[in-house]
Amino acid sequence: MENKNTLSSTRKQAMSKIALVDDDRNILTSVWMNLEAEGFEVETYNDGQAALDAFNKRMPDMAVLDIKMPRMDGMDLLQRLRQKTAMPVIFLTSKDDEIEEVLGLRMGADDYVKKPFSQRLLVELIRALLRRQEAVATEEVGDTEETKVMERGDLRMDPLRHAVSWKGKDVSLTVTEFLLLQALAQRPGFVKSRDQLMDVAYDDQVYVDDRTIDSHIKRLRKKMRTADDEFSAIETLYGIGYRYNEE
């Protein structure tokens, strides 16, 4: 049975206002219908300027932004938003937008989803970001393994601030990458299978294949190597999974 705090958090999320900003009408319609079915309040906009005008009157709880749009693109809109709000922002990107993804994360985006994307994965990512936002805003967080600052050798992770550093250098990770690294680093030397990592990163009702986890780990390593070219703390055990080796 769910406790009262869990139910309360679920109700709060269901009432959250989500802004969708994309010039693709088909994406706006499909995502809007899916989020409405999940109980969210949803507003849609065809370009960044229209969204910004609306946000100046009433700020949503979260925004899902396409990067490439007319009048004002997602990058410009994010820059304007970060001048006044820390609300969660997810970017929708194409397969070839890796540079934009990196720039977006550095500018303050919380995560990104590549087109074409799973509607269910987007919903779970939205829920994860809203849970994090609520925990930080209310400070209703206990001192648990999932919330306290963790240090493993040169690695430092602060879950509440979603901050990661390696040898004192900050590293920008998405929510999914953060959760995967946290799961591995919590028990150095212990192997996590791909199935176990899927359970960490996604709701158990969501199906993702092995390649999705492998792709996240590959990108995670790449980002950690921006802080240290010789980063090798995440080890692959072929056919089994991954483990974190404390250095």
4-43 tens-digit pLDDT: 444 444 445 557 899 999 999 999 999 999 999 999 999 9
54/99 same-domain check = yes
Between 143 and 201, the higher pLDDT residue: 201
* Contact between 188 and 201 (Cβ < 8 Å): no
The domain that holds 195 is classified in CATH as: 1.10.10.10
Which of 91, 106, 138 marks a domain boundary?
138
**CA–CA gap between residue 165 and residue 158 (Å, rounded):** 9
pLDDT tens digits for range 195-226: 888 877 765 545 556 677 888 888 899 889 99
* Contact between 89 and 81 (Cβ < 8 Å): yes
Predicted pLDDT at 195: 85
Predicted pLDDT at 86: 80
Residue 246 CB: number of other CB atoms within 10 A? 12
The kind and range of the H/E element at 6 are helix 4-14
Residue carrying the six token digits 């040898």: 167
Nearest to 202 by CA among 118, 143, 137, 135: 118
14/81 same-domain check = yes
Token duo for residue 71:
């009048």
Start-end of H helices in 118-158 = 119-138
Which of 81-90, 132-141, 142-151, 195-204 has maximum average pLDDT?
81-90
- Please give the backbone phi and psi of residue 164, each rounded to the nearest 5 degrees, phi first: -130, 135
Provide the domain count of the chain: 2
Between 143 and 210, the higher pLDDT residue: 210
Which of 138, 161, 193 marks a domain boundary?
138
Task: Report if residue 143 sits inside a domain.
Answer: no
Mean pLDDT of 166-182: 87
Which of 102, 118, 138 marks a domain boundary?
138
Residue carrying the six token digits 């430092």: 156
Between 141 and 218, the higher pLDDT residue: 218
* Contact between 110 and 133 (Cβ < 8 Å): no
Contacts of 195 (CB under 8 A, 6+ apart): none
The pTM assigned to this predicted structure is 0.66
128/196 same-domain check = no
Task: Report if residue 68 sits inside a domain.
Answer: yes
Q: How many residues would you count in the chain? A: 247
Between 4 and 52, the higher pLDDT residue: 52
Which residue range forms the structural domain that includes residue 126? Answer: 4-138
**CA–CA gap between residue 43 and residue 60 (Å, rounded):** 9
Least confident of 8-12, 26-30, 184-188, 241-245: 8-12
Task: Report if residue 127 sits inside a domain.
Answer: yes
Torsion of CA 10, 14, 18, 24, to 10 degrees: 110
Instruction: Outline where DSSP puts E strands in 100-179.
Output: 111-114, 150-152, 155-158, 163-166, 169-171
Identify the DSSP state of 164: E
Is residue 74 scored above 80 in pLDDT? yes
Task: Report if residue 35 sits inside a domain.
Answer: yes
pLDDT tens digits for range 103-121: 666 677 888 888 888 888 8
Task: Report if residue 144 sits inside a domain.
Answer: no
Omega within 30 of 0 (cis) for the link into 88: no
